[in-house]
Amino acid sequence: MTAAPTDGAPFVVVANRLPVDRTVSPDGTIDWRTSPGGLVTALEPVMRAKGGAWVGWHGAPDETVEEFEHDGFTVVPVPLSAQEVNEYYEGFSNATLWPLYHDSVAFPEFHREWWDSYQLVNQRFAQRAAEVAGPGATVWVQDYQLHLVPTMLRELRPDLKIGFFLHIPFPPVELFHQIPWRRQLLGGLMGADLVGFQVPGGAQNFLRLARRHAPEKVTVKGSEITLGDGRVAVAKAFPISIDTDGFRELAESDEVKAEARQLREDLGNPKVIFLGVDRLDYTKGLRQRIRAMGELFAEGKLDPSEAVLLQVATPSRERVEEYKRLRDDIDLLVGRINSEVGGVGRSAIVYRHASFPRHTMAAMYSIADVMVVTPLRDGMNLVAKEYVACHGSDDGALVLSEFAGAALELKQAYLVNPYDLNGMKETLMQAATDGPRVRRRRMSALRRQVTEHTIDRWAQNFLDTLDEVARAHG
């Protein structure tokens, strides 16, 4: 057990990565800037108001960085060796849990040395959180890389209020059964007072598994798991959202409007712009989407002189073999389609394997007539919500996979099954050709949803519920 520091932080976030990026000026001076991202945007005000701390890895292996103050809160770096990055992060987190939690779209690998490293790193994160959290503090643990932290932390600091949120899908019983260490992973989450999921189905999967595979005898009733020592853990859905106002204001800025005009001109001022924005990941359905668009061009249903697909694929996990294969597949597929159907000096598919700043993404969203978001499985997918926030007029259309968590909220999107290529082609054409009245009705309903449910509201809802659970069962 770790003693609570009297001057510790009353609110602690524990995540795989810190909310800051290191910058080096020309004179060699090192500084840190806040990372872009919705979670950071939502939690920064809470951190500043409460004097919080953020525990996470700073991104460079084999290096120790001392904790420091940044923009009103404490940054607490956790060191990782190169071997741990390989085994805990690229191995167990992203080659075992990630594919399995995404319906085994790729084959998950199970290696005992990866599991050993995962346990070791989770213990290190828990120890650092225990050392910086004040008496009775609230600690919010984030995502699949840190499944074991809640119980490890509770053993060190039973006085804490502990929440956990899973940003990716949580798999059904049949898939979770495959994991050799399923009891330990479930037991890790049960150390939290509140376990949050993107959709109700994820919470239900967790509760079913708790009944069958908990490491100790538990009683499950409704959303509550009562453990052997009488403590209660609650599992519920908290669909995450975006900084809606921030995205809207960015899209309405003069800088972004000018960039949007230039982008449209660079694309040849087509009548219809389809847009895809994804990490280059096998869960995102890129092969299926590009094939469907290629067939629409080949069949003459879309004219490359009038329509274009702008597909952005942000580089991701480029050292992993599965991702290298995906990149090669997409490069070949796009090249073949453009050679067969593109006009002279004009590509049917404009493909960019690159990262773009937030203002450029806002410009892309604002000019897209049809936003295409077709993952094979996604916890939520915030790109869909970002498009709705940034696309200023009601003439846009969102084509959205049924297998994204966002589909449960964005019911007026054009929903598709990405495995059904013919169905996807029909829906893409419907989205592009529906009358203005239909598009206005759908888009205004989407905008209401995204405006009313923001990332601030999501964070406050989770933290309020955590307080209620801790009071009721403390």
pLDDT tens track for 382-410: 999 999 999 988 899 999 999 999 999 99
Average pLDDT rounded to a whole number, residues 82-109? 95
> Average per-residue pLDDT in the chain?
93
- Per-residue pLDDT, 464: 96
Query: pLDDT tens digit string along 224-250?
Result: 999 988 999 999 999 999 989 999 999
* Better-predicted residue by pLDDT, 84 or 20: 84
- CA–centroid distance for 355 within its chain: 16
Average of pLDDT values for 146-158? 97
> Does residue 209 or residue 31 have the better pLDDT?
209
323 pLDDT band (50/70/90 cuts)?
Answer: confident
| In the predicted structure, residue 39 carries a pLDDT above the cut 90 | no
227: which 2 tokens? 């453990």
Q: Rounded to the nearest 5°, which phi and psi values hold at 434?
A: -60, 150
Considering the segment(s) 9-240+456-473 as one domain, its CATH architecture is: 3-Layer(aba) Sandwich (3.40)
Helix 455-473 crosses helix 38-50 at what angle (to 10 degrees)?
A: 50
pLDDT > 70: percent of the chain: 98
The pLDDT of residue 98:
96
Q: Is 0.85 surpassed by the pTM of this model?
A: yes
DSSP letters, 201-223, are HHHHHHHHHHHHH-SS--EEETT
Q: So where are the chain's domains? A: 9-240+456-473, 244-452
Residue 145: pLDDT above 70?
A: yes
User: In sequence order, which ranges of 19-111 are alpha helices (DSSP H)?
Assistant: 38-50, 82-84, 98-101
Amino acid identity of residue 49, one-letter, is A
When pLDDT is cut at 50, 70 and 90, the band that residue 38 belongs to is low
For residue 350, give the 3-state DSSP assignment.
strand
Buried b (16+ CB within 10 A) or exposed e, 159-185: ebbbbbbbbbbbbeeebbeebebbebb
Would 9-240+456-473 and 244-452 be classified into the same CATH topology?
Answer: yes
Q: Are 206 and 170 in contact (CB under 8 A)?
A: yes
Q: In this predicted model, which residue has the larger pLDDT, 418 or 30?
A: 418
Q: Tens of pLDDT along 347-377?
A: 999 999 998 999 999 999 999 999 999 999 9
The half-sphere exposure of 168 on its side-chain side, counting CA atoms within 13 A, is 21
pLDDT at 474: 66
Q: Between the CA of residue 203 and those of 170, 198, 233, 369, what are the distances in Å?
A: 8, 8, 12, 35
Distance of CA 206 to the CA centre of its chain: 19
Residue 344 has pLDDT above 80, yes or no: no
46's tokens:
């809470």
Topology of the domain covering 244-452: Rossmann fold (3.40.50)
- What's the whole-number mean pLDDT along residues 319-339? 88
Distance (Å) of CA 146 to CA 53, 255, 343, 463: 17, 39, 50, 19
Angle between helices 286-298 and 321-341 (to 10 degrees): 10
Contacting residues for 112 by C-beta, under 8 A, at least 6 apart: none
In the chain, the N- to C-terminal Cα span, in Å, equals: 19
**Residues with Cβ within 8 Å of residue 473, at least 6 apart in sequence:** 193, 231, 232
Give the pLDDT score at 180: 96
Tokens 């050679």 identify what position?
339
> Checking phi first, is residue 285 left (phi over 0); if not, alpha (psi -120 to 50) or beta?
left
Q: State how far the alpha carbon of 144 is from the alpha carbons of 68, 188, 427, 449, in Å.
A: 26, 11, 33, 27
Q: 108 falls in which pLDDT band (50, 70, 90)? A: very high
Beta carbons of 213 and 186 less than 8 angstroms apart: yes
pLDDT at 285 over 90: yes
State the DSSP H helix or E strand holding residue 185, giving kind and residue range, or none if neither: helix 182-189
DSSP letter at 318? T
Sign of CA dihedral 4, 6, 12, 16: negative
**Nearest to residue 125, comparing CAs of 135, 113, 139?**
139
Residue 6 has pLDDT above 90, yes or no: no
pLDDT in tens, 432-459: 999 999 999 999 999 999 999 999 899 9
What is the reported pLDDT for 301? Answer: 97
Lowest mean pLDDT among 63-72, 195-204, 271-280: 63-72
